Amino acid sequence: MLKKIDHVGVVVHSLAEVKAMYKALFDLEPVFEEVVESQKVRVAGFSVGESNIEYLEPTADDSPIAKFLEKRGEGMHHIALSVDDVQGTLNRMKDEGVRLIDESPKIGAEGKKIAFVHPKSMNGILLELSQEA
**Within the chain, where are the H helices?**
15-26, 64-72, 86-95
Please tell me whether residue 55 adopts helix, strand or coil conformation: strand
**Residue 127 engages Zn ion in binding (rule: CB under 5 A):** no
Tell me the closest approach of the beta carbon of residue 7 to Zn ion, in angstroms. Answer: 6
Distance separating alpha carbons of residues 9 and 119, to the nearest angstrom? 14
Distance separating alpha carbons of residues 82 and 109, to the nearest angstrom? 13
Span from 22-30, 82-90, 116-124, 125-133 in contact with Zn ion (CB under 5 A):
125-133
The count of chain residues that interact with Zn ion, using the rule CB under 5 A, is 3
Distance separating alpha carbons of residues 58 and 113, to the nearest angstrom? 20
Out of 41, 128, 129, 131, point to the residue binding Zn ion (CB under 5 A). Answer: 128
Out of 41, 80, 115, 117, point to the residue binding Zn ion (CB under 5 A). Answer: 80
Residues 45-64 within binding reach of Zn ion (CB under 5 A) = none
Binding footprint of Zn ion on the chain (CB under 5 A)? 9, 80, 128
